[in-house]
Chains A and B, each alone.
Chain A
Amino acid sequence: MTVIETDIDADATVDARGSSCPGPLMDLIGKIRDLETGDVVVLLSDGEESLTDVPEWAEESGNRVLEIVEGDEHNEIYVEKS
């Protein structure tokens, strides 16, 4: 089992493991709609596309990817709502 370590405390978690593209990004966008500016959400995704989809969308939308932690079974992508 992968142990993922980071210093970032997320305000919300979106567990999109097992969800196929574009599910993880859409789940993340849905959660960000509900958050306040400055809140941090972590997306758990085992889809490879998320590693490119999420940073591209964050850049387009003005939100900020704080950290991407890659694991063997899934990745964690930390996004701050701007």
Chain B
Amino acid sequence: MTEHVVIVGGGVGGSVLANDLADRLAPELEDGDVRVTLLNDSPEHVYKPVWLYVPFGQSEVDDGRRPLADLIDSRIEIRIDRVTDIDTDAKTLGCRDSDRPIEYDHLVLATGVTLAPEVVPGLEEGGHNYYSEAGAEALREELLSFTEGHLVLSVVGSPHMCPVAPLEFTFMADDWLRERGLREDVEITYTYPVGRVHGTPPIAEWARPVLDDRDINVETFFNAESVDPEAKTMTSMEGTELDYDLLVSIPPHRGIDVIEEAGLGEKGWVDVDNHTLEAETAEDVYALGDTADTGAPKSGSVAHYQVSTVGQRLTSRIRGRPPTATYDGKTLCFIETGMDEATFVAFDYENAPSPPPPSEKIHWSKLAYNESYWLTARGLL
């Protein structure tokens, strides 16, 4: 009997895993003992880290798009459809464009995040963001014509994709405005929902003096409750009101509803064992990347590192061996500290990050990685 592996989601985690399995399971695929299907609701793969550079005119959203068919090994079946329900008892998936359910033996959920700005009244109308293609392009138009006033970067939702990106945007905006001779006419404020400037204490301890040195105002314990697009004000649950001329927010995130409806976890995040990435409430279901509720950041590097764990465990099960691979929380994030310098953090479940001094070399390393990412997606790097 042919075993069927279905991967839902063609982002970083799903695409890299598909290519990883094409390699690991090559004999079984060739003999017809295993099929692997990658199910995605679009024929294109999107690399989201490109969006950070779009508002500053340094990238185009198309730089982050490639057809899945160009990236995914030909031994993987690509199916374009959207999952509408998951039945983990019957081991079937319902799909929008098909009357017949897809049967699976092993399911990997890599469905990623969706933005939920509607959680905060007025946020969608009053704020910009760079966490979507349309948002990044609209913000670019605003930022290019923004020469004076109050720029507010507000982290509204957490967890969110790329936890250091709000700091990066703030540092880049500061540097970009200085280079253009506009910084004295633009006040910048950074807000964060907990009592420090980043959720991870060592990153917060590193970033706070950098923000202070650059005369960037900081509001901690700021959880946006509402935005008034007409008055251009935002109010927090803690009772603080901020005036803004340009609001850039990190909107609340959530996973897809189908996951909660299937009883796999709340808010669209799958409850998994943090080390095996296997679902807590269903057999033969895995989650990786942003979808997996591991406590690790929602970051492309996490999805990339988790692929080898899921790939090895799946392969072991298919071959009737006990799976032994585990994920240790490994994360690596570059942090742009301006337009020409960057640092990075590397950490895991047991070891805290310690950013080295920013340098031009690390900045170029980040840009080089973004270019070579397409090799990662193909499973080559």
Interface residues of A (CB under 8 A from B): 18-23, 25-26, 29, 32-33, 49, 53, 56-57, 60-62
Contact = CB atoms under 8 A, between A and B. Distances in A.
B234 to A, nearest CB: 15
A60 B195 contact: yes
21 contacts: A20-B295, A20-B296, A21-B201, A22-B193, A22-B199, A26-B158, A29-B223, A33-B119, A33-B225, A49-B201, A53-B194, A53-B195, A56-B195, A56-B221, A57-B221, A60-B195, A61-B237, A61-B238, A61-B239, A62-B238, A62-B239
A33 B200 contact: no
Interface string B212-251: 0000000001010100000000000111000000000000
Given A26-B193, A33-B237, 7 more contacts: A21-B201, A26-B194, A49-B201, A57-B194, A57-B195, A60-B238, A61-B239
7 closest A-B pairs by beta carbon, nearest first, are: A20-B295, A22-B199, A60-B221, A61-B238, A22-B194, A26-B158, A60-B238
B274 interface: yes
Contacts of A21: 199-201
Contacts of B119: 33
A15 to B, nearest CB: 9
B159 interface: yes
Contacts of B295: 18-20, 23
Contacts, number: 50
A22 B158 contact: yes
Nearest to A16: B295
Given A33-B237, A61-B237, A62-B239, A18 B195 contact: no
Nearest to B239: A62
Nearest to A57: B221
Contacts of B221: 56-57, 60-61
Interface of B: 119, 158-159, 193-195, 199-201, 221, 223, 225, 237-239, 274, 293, 295-296
Interface of B, secondary structure class, is loop
A39 to B, nearest CB: 15
A23 B200 CA distance: 10
Contacts of A61: 221, 223, 237-239
Contacts of A56: 195, 221
Interface of A, secondary structure class, is helix
A25 B194 contact: yes
Contacts of B194: 22, 25-26, 53, 57
Contacts of B158: 22-23, 26
Nearest to B194: A22
Given A18-B274, A20-B295, A23-B295, A29 B193 contact: yes
A60 B237 CA distance: 9
A40 B200 CA distance: 28
Contacts of A49: 201
A27 B3 CA distance: 38
A37 to B, nearest CB: 13
A61 B225 CA distance: 12
A21 B221 CA distance: 14
B268 to A, nearest CB: 13
Contacts of A29: 193, 223, 237
Contacts of B195: 53, 56-57, 60
B274 to A, nearest CB: 7
